[in-house]
Amino acid sequence: MKPVVAIVGRPNVGKSTLFNRLIGQRLAIIEDEPGITRDRIYADCHWGGRTFTLVDTGGLQYGIEGYRGGGKSGGVTGAPPVIEAAVTRQAELAIREADVVIFVTDVRAGVQPDDLEVAQLLRRVRKPVILCVNKVDSPQHEQMALEFYSLGLGDFIAVSALHGTGTGDLLDAVVRHLPPPAPEPEEEDPNLIKVAVAGRPNVGKSTLVNALVGEERVIVSDVPGTTRDAIDVLVERDGRRLLLIDTAGLRRKSRIEEPVERYSVIRALRAIDRSDVVLLVLDATEEVTDQDQKIGQYIKEQGKACVVVVNKWDLVEKNDRTMQEYTERIKYQLRFMDYVELVFLSAKTRARLNKLIPTIELVWTNHGRRVSTAALNACLREAVLLTPPPSEKGQRLKIYYATQPQVRPPGIVLFVNNPELMHFSYQRYLENRLRAAFDFRGTPIRWYLRQRESRSGPRAARED
């Protein structure tokens, strides 16, 4: 599991600007107005041969109404006090989870009362804290930064997040304070399948885990958001061992109110990251939502095998075409991952539960499927002969040969004359031909296009 580094500080000190600078992309919203960041934003950061999860947080504010019994009617952000209080609690949760904390201050504003409050909090935590003085853009600012020794956190690193100066030194300090890399894991049981159970709140994930385990191992409640952490449960069925990872429900940010629930999202995403197969649980009584699609998109981006579990099937009025109609509609709504396998069941009554384990095994096997180079190229040659690549600006795509260097997920390297000539629709056609020829149900396929100037080497996939 990757280490976590949290960026904290009072509002409007440039935390989100620093976050974007360190990850190398504009992910956090930046405005010249305090309090823009409320939900935590996270992304992977790579430096010095290490990878860690960087977490941006909302501003820490103290003495506001709704926090520790404070009496102010509002803070500097202009947001309702209850929101400011929740943001503060949320940032403190990030500090608790982090392996390293970057405490950001503003040299132009000097040491503020909230800086002193944050410093007092950080002196109590037993983890590395890096004091970062931001907006240091001139020699005068460097002299002004000396004031921050008064926070009692030792040496500081002066940076300008806007211009990028000093950020390399900051990242060097972060890497020095990261915990040692985890030792290489022992060889895992080849029969063990790590299965993450993910989906929106209140679709029956915990009930499904309990049904598979056969006992009340996970708290089940009608209140959405009951499960806060990822919970691992080892199950053995018919000689196959499953590690079930129950996760907190993932919902749209606008629907996330409690800071503990917001915080649990990062754990749910981590659970998906460390799984082999993800069960995307849907509610049969509801339509596929935007959030279901976003969760599916994340599962696909992470290259995980997936089974869509249509739960609460017992509540649906059925005829002889109901299941087919549901399948077609769900496949259309999740058309960016139409390779998924669907299982219709009721976790509560356990109806059709016996269909789930064989489907998990199927997609797990396909996720690790490797096709020989000869069979792969034979399939592609036939596909190209049946439907030649279209021409683009007088040039025609030439496919020379392919190979599969990776599994979990299967990865296909395609050698062509010019990768820019590969249209997404033709790549989709080739993928459909591969799926028809070989069993890749339930798993994404990753394509890697490589340019090759000549056809020396293995026989081309298409002879012109």
Look at residue 20 and tell me if it is in a domain.
yes
Calculate mean pLDDT across residues 10-23.
Answer: 91
pLDDT at 228: 41
Residues 35 and 164 in one domain: yes
CA distances from 389 to 297, 318, 334, 380 (A): 28, 44, 27, 12
Q: Find the distance separating the first CA and the last CA of the chain, reported in whole Å.
A: 49
Res 190 pLDDT > 90: no
| Cα distance between residue 26 and residue 17, in whole Å | 8
Range of the domain at 377: 373-451
Tell which wins on pLDDT, 257 or 58: 58
Report the residue count for the chain: 464
* H or E segment and range at residue 249: none
Look at residue 183 and tell me if it is in a domain.
no
pLDDT band at 33; cut points 50, 70, 90: very low
| Cα distance between residue 158 and residue 48, in whole Å | 20
Residues 199 and 346 in one domain: yes
On the 0-12 / 13-18 / 19+ scale of CB atoms within 10 A, 24 is exposed
Number of structural domains found in the chain: 3
Look at residue 460 and tell me if it is in a domain.
no
pLDDT band at 390; cut points 50, 70, 90: confident
Structure tokens at 334: 């999740």
Last residue of a domain, one of 125, 147, 177: 177
Structure tokens at 312: 């609460």
- Phi and psi at residue 104, in whole multiples of 5°? -100, 135
Contacts of 128 (CB under 8 A, 6+ apart): 99, 100, 101, 177
Among 182-196, 219-233, 247-261, 354-368, the least confident range: 247-261
| Cα distance between residue 256 and residue 266, in whole Å | 13
Structure tokens at 316: 């649906």
Neighbours of 192 (CB within 10 A): 14
In this structure, the strands spanning 100-106 and 4-8 are parallel
* Residue range 283-339, pLDDT digits in tens: 999 999 888 898 898 899 999 999 999 999 999 999 999 999 999 999 999 999 999
Look at residue 319 and tell me if it is in a domain.
yes
Mean pLDDT over the full length of the chain = 81
Look at residue 464 and tell me if it is in a domain.
no
SS3 of 326-346? HHHHHHHHCHHHCCCEEEECE
Share of the chain above pLDDT 90, in %: 56
Neighbours of 226 (CB within 10 A): 17
Look at residue 52 and tell me if it is in a domain.
yes
Residues 133 and 245 in one domain: no
Last residue of a domain, one of 341, 367, 393: 367
Contacts of 227 (CB under 8 A, 6+ apart): 205, 206, 218, 219, 246, 247, 248, 249, 264
Residues 153 and 20 in one domain: yes
Map residue 248 onto helix, strand or coil.
coil
129: left (phi over 0), alpha (psi -120 to 50) or beta: beta
pLDDT at 241: 84
- Phi and psi at residue 134, in whole multiples of 5°? -95, 165
Helix/strand/coil percent split, the chain, to 5: 35, 25, 40
Q: Is the Cβ–Cβ distance between 35 and 60 less than 8 Å? A: no
pLDDT at 389: 92
Last residue of a domain, one of 367, 395, 426: 367
The residue type at 73: S
Residues 218 and 305 in one domain: yes
Structure tokens at 16: 């989100």
| Cα distance between residue 283 and residue 316, in whole Å | 10
Residues 354 and 381 in one domain: no
Residues 38 and 102 in one domain: yes
| Cα distance between residue 438 and residue 435, in whole Å | 5
Q: Tokens 């983890």 appear where? A: 127
User: What is the CATH number for 112?
Assistant: 3.40.50.300
Tell which wins on pLDDT, 375 or 94: 375
User: What is the CATH number for 396?
Assistant: 3.30.300.20
Res 127 pLDDT > 60: yes
Look at residue 402 and tell me if it is in a domain.
yes
Res 383 pLDDT > 60: yes
Helices (H), 50-135: 81-97, 113-124
Residue ranges with strand state E in 136-260: 156-158, 192-198, 231-237, 240-246
In this structure, the strands spanning 446-451 and 411-416 are parallel
Residues 281 and 346 in one domain: yes
Rg (CA), the chain: 26
Residues 250 and 234 in one domain: yes
pLDDT at 225: 46
Q: Is the Cβ–Cβ distance between 383 and 402 less than 8 Å? A: no
| Cα distance between residue 307 and residue 218, in whole Å | 21
Q: Is the Cβ–Cβ distance between 38 and 58 less than 8 Å? A: yes
Q: Tokens 């490797």 appear where? A: 370
Q: Is the Cβ–Cβ distance between 227 and 248 less than 8 Å? A: yes
Residues 206 and 242 in one domain: yes
Residues 306 and 343 in one domain: yes
Residues 202 and 169 in one domain: no
pLDDT at 435: 95
Look at residue 182 and tell me if it is in a domain.
no
| Cα distance between residue 55 and residue 101, in whole Å | 10
pLDDT at 226: 45
CA distances from 191 to 76, 128, 184, 209 (A): 56, 40, 19, 19
